[in-house]
């Protein structure tokens, strides 16, 4: 048909999935092509539970083709974006070329090592499913190794964990490792009952959970320290060489386990002019999420920065809710424009933020008269919100029963080393 449009979405995270669903459920006559380097969607806020053996990969991931199976106007391409050719309305993937009417970049972020090659090569990131699986394997392999050696110095390095980054992910990893130490480690590894198993949480800022309220920051730190986590603030990891974490103040921590959650950055794409990028390589967009200096190219979620929202003149926080809300409005605006109707500029509705610390302990900053919650009630809110945010009913049910089993038994039988790279 003459008016048939082709909407190409790069990235199947929160923003990409939400946009595709909204467009496909409407009466808008357009084909939707989703491009992603993986063939599945996954839920990043629960990666740390996969990495520590408390959830299975299948609990937080789901295949794109299965999810959109009933949608006749949908197609999926497993591939990576290599170049955008705006003059031809074309993208070049590692597996071919695709033409578009509108291109939406929803590529999220990647781990930022701040240019330190040694950290990049030796630290353990936690940004993808592969990262989480690798981290779990490394933790278990090092515990197995530590259980067999008599060298106390090496054993201490193998059982010491340093987490760089005091944001929600770093706090959640530290809390989960403290639970592993308290409830599971010495049952599975009686040989390690005298091992150090020190857990360090390091951040360059004066407080952990920097975007959250002072009450949440203080409660989280007190809870972690009460669980035996060593919190070092106002410190940054300067280097990581030969199993030793070097801090900026000249001190060091011998450890074979540097878990890197210290920062993210957006990606740059060939074909997009340099002036279209802002802080953190985020694409500069107007109030309708259109990329500045481009035609029919949009960006949503973590990969973009918008300064037109009066409440967020420096850009929105890189949170799931921002991505979802931008996707919803962009779908509405694309349809409205096609129908000759007016569009609405994006205004973020801040629904608050939360972080889990450990069993029965979480913090939540919510809008309204009761702005701050902590402890068991905040933990229940966190559980409910994250269950409801999973992509489908199957994932909700399996995750709930995994959590229920873990809560009752204070254990989880998912600590298997499964490494496909090993023949």
C-alpha 39/C-alpha 82 separation (Å) is 18
What is residue 194's predicted lDDT score, i.e. its pLDDT?
A: 84
What average pLDDT score do residues 95-110 get? 96
- The β-bridge relationship of strands 283-285 and 304-306 is parallel
Q: Does residue 1 register a pLDDT over 70?
A: no
What is residue 413's predicted lDDT score, i.e. its pLDDT?
A: 82
What average pLDDT score do residues 37-65 get? 95
What average pLDDT score do residues 412-417 get? 86
Q: Does residue 2 register a pLDDT over 50?
A: no
Q: Does residue 63 register a pLDDT over 70?
A: yes
Confidence (pTM) = 0.93
What is residue 422's predicted lDDT score, i.e. its pLDDT?
A: 65
What average pLDDT score do residues 365-391 get? 90
What is residue 420's predicted lDDT score, i.e. its pLDDT?
A: 73
What average pLDDT score do residues 374-381 get? 94
- Mean pLDDT, the chain, whole residue set: 94
Region of poorest pLDDT, from 2-16, 93-107, 294-308:
2-16
Q: Contact 137/418 with Cβ under 8 angstroms?
A: yes
Question: Each residue of 152-187: pLDDT tens digit?
Answer: 999 999 999 999 999 999 999 999 999 999 988 989
Closest CA to 334 of 12, 32, 1, 17: 32
Grade residue 3 by pLDDT with cuts at 50, 70 and 90. Answer: low
Closest CA to 43 of 385, 421, 413, 310: 385
Could you list the active site residues?
A: 172
Domains of the chain: 5-37+79-109+266-338 (3.50.50.60), 117-264+353-409 (3.50.50.100)
Tell me what percent of the residues of the chain surpass a pLDDT of 90.
87
């Amino acid at each position: 048909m003459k008016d048939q449009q082709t909407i190409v979405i790069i990235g199947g995270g929160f923003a990409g999935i939400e946009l595709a669903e909204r467009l496909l459920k409407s009466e808008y006559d357009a084909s939707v092509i989703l491009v992603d380097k993986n063939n599945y969607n996954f839920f990043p806020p629960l990666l740390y539970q996969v990495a520590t053996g408390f959830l299975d990969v299948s609990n937080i991931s789901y295949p794109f083709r299965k999810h959109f199976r009933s949608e006749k106007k949908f197609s999926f391409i497993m591939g990576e974006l290599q170049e955008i050719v705006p003059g031809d309305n074309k993208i070049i993937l590692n597996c071919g070329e695709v033409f578009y009417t509108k291109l939406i970049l929803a590529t999220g972020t990647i781990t930022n090592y701040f240019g330190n090659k040694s950290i990049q090569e030796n630290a353990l990131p936690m940004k993808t499913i592969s990262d989480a699986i690798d981290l779990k394997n490394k933790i278990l392999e090092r515990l197995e190794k530590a259980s067999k050696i008599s060298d106390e110095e090496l054993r201490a390095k193998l059982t010491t964990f340093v987490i760089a980054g005091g944001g929600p992910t770093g706090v959640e990893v530290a809390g989960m490792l403290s639970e592993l130490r308290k409830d599971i480690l010495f049952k599975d590894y009686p040989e390690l009952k005298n091992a150090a198993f020190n857990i360090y949480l390091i951040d360059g800022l004066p407080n952990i959970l920097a975007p959250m309220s002072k009450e949440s920051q203080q409660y989280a730190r007190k809870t972690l320290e009460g669980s035996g986590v060593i919190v070092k603030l106002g410190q940054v990891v300067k280097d990581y060489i030969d199993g030793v974490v070097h801090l900026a103040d000249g001190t060091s921590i011998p450890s074979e386990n540097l878990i890197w959650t210290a920062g993210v950055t957006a990606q740059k794409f060939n074909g997009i002019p340099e002036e279209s990028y802002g802080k953190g390589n985020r694409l500069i967009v107007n109030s309708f999420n259109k990329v500045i200096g481009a035609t029919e190219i949009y960006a949503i979620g973590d990969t973009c920065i918008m300064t037109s929202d009066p409440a967020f003149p420096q850009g929105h926080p890189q949170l799931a809710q921002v991505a979802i809300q931008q996707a919803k409005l962009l779908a509405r605006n694309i349809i409205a424009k096609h129908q000759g109707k007016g569009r609405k500029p994006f205004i973020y509705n801040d629904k608050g933020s939360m972080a889990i610390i450990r069993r029965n302990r979480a913090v939540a900053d919510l809008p309204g008269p009761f702005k701050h919650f902590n402890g068991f009630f905040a933990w229940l809110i966190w559980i409910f919100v994250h269950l409801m945010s999973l992509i489908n009913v199957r994932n909700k049910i399996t995750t709930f029963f995994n959590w229920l089993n873990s809560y009752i038994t204070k254990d989880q039988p998912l600590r298997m080393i499964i490494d496909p790279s090993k023949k």
